[in-house]
Amino acid sequence: MRRQFDWNLLHTFTVIVEERSITGAANRLLLRQPSVSNALKRLEDQIGARLIDRERGRFEVTEQGLALYHECREICGAIRRLSDVMSDSGNQLTGHLHMWLASHVVFPPLDDALFEFNRSHPEVTYEIDVATSVNVVDQVLSQQASFGICLVKERHPRLEYRRLYREHFGFFCGPTHHLFGKKDLTLADLRSEAFVSFATDQLTDALAPVAVLRAQEGMKGKVVAVSPHLEEVRRLINAGLGIGPLPIHVVQSATDRGQLWRLPPYIEPPAIDIYLVTNPRMSLSRAERFFIENLTARLDAAPDGYFVYP
């Protein structure tokens, strides 16, 4: 027998999870706390399961609650998109592109696609958010993003992935570091150096190739700082806190200007693939559909169907 759920209860539950408290949800929804608490209890009664463990001052979303929250997020995203999809008609292409990117995305074909698309369709508007790759995927999954461009460790079965390009990571140091300007170094020279890196520089995460190289070469220097954003990792390296990995093609101009110094390995550096992530369950507007087609068509010019940067 199919259950009938009250959308207002689902929306209230979503806000409770995002605010991580009944009080926060009540303030956001402009409701009284008892009303929010009662809405949660009614939803739990309808479902027949505890969604949030809130005994003795705890606030922990249960496994059933997390599953429901992810479904609610997807529904919310679809509802927010209704106005764009329903008004998507006429000869003049209109609409809004909401892109979510990882912080290190430097991809000239994307820049070219934006330039040409804006010139051909001046009524289309754009919004770009920068986040960790995990958050980018989450935004695409919940239909908050037109598409995402990011690193991918594990593929979600509900999403589609198209490799855009392969970049290579090198180790770098800043001008005040004692290795700056030194040539003919080997990986052995880096083994005891303090290290700066990305939060995903783990054997089980998206920058696993970098972590594998560090492990294989016995680079056991203290990790003194981490960040999920390339700009901040670069800042920390440039400030001399330690050596660290950066995409070679992204920081080439800084290297040429003497702001960074490339360290070994000079041959076969770790390779990382960057993907276009889309949600096949999402009803795309014409602007979104045409832009994605425009972008992916550029991959036809690449020898292997994707670009490779040194």
* Per-residue pLDDT tens digits of the chain, which is 310 residues long: 456 677 788 888 888 888 888 888 888 888 888 888 888 888 888 888 888 887 777 788 888 888 888 888 777 776 666 666 555 555 678 889 999 999 889 999 999 999 999 999 999 999 999 998 989 998 999 888 999 999 998 899 999 999 999 999 999 999 999 999 999 999 999 999 999 998 877 777 778 888 888 888 888 888 999 998 899 999 999 999 999 999 999 999 999 999 999 999 999 999 999 999 999 988 888 999 999 999 999 998 888 899 999 8
Whole-angstrom distance, CA of residue 273 vs CA of residue 284: 25
- Answer whether CATH 3.40.50.300 is correct for domain 93-160+274-308: no
Which of 120, 122, 144, 148 shows the shortest CA–CA distance to 134?
Answer: 148
Question: What is the DSSP-derived secondary structure letter of residue 243?
Answer: B
Structure confidence at residue 136 (pLDDT): 93
CB 98 within 8 A of CB 145: yes
Whole-angstrom distance, CA of residue 59 vs CA of residue 279: 31
Q: What sections of the chain are H helices per DSSP?
A: 7-19, 22-29, 33-47, 63-80, 82-86, 108-120, 133-141, 208-216, 230-238, 252-256, 286-297
Helix (H, G, I), strand (E, B) or coil at 275: strand
Identify the CATH number of the domain defined by range 166-272: 3.40.190.10
Structure confidence at residue 1 (pLDDT): 42
CB 239 within 8 A of CB 174: yes
Q: Where in the chain is the domain with CATH 1.10.10.10?
A: 7-80
Whole-angstrom distance, CA of residue 270 vs CA of residue 296: 25
Structure confidence at residue 58 (pLDDT): 79
What DSSP assignment string belongs to 170-194? EEEE-TTSTTTT--S--GGGGTTS-
Q: Where in the chain is the domain with CATH 3.40.190.10?
A: 93-160+274-308, 166-272
Structure confidence at residue 304 (pLDDT): 87
Structure confidence at residue 91 (pLDDT): 66
Q: What sections of 81-200 are H helices per DSSP?
A: 82-86, 108-120, 133-141
Structure confidence at residue 13 (pLDDT): 87
Residue with token string 């294989």 = 216
The neighbouring-strand residues paired with 243 are: 195
Whole-angstrom distance, CA of residue 295 vs CA of residue 275: 12
Whole-angstrom distance, CA of residue 165 vs CA of residue 171: 20
Topology of the domain comprising 7-80? Arc Repressor Mutant, subunit A (1.10.10)
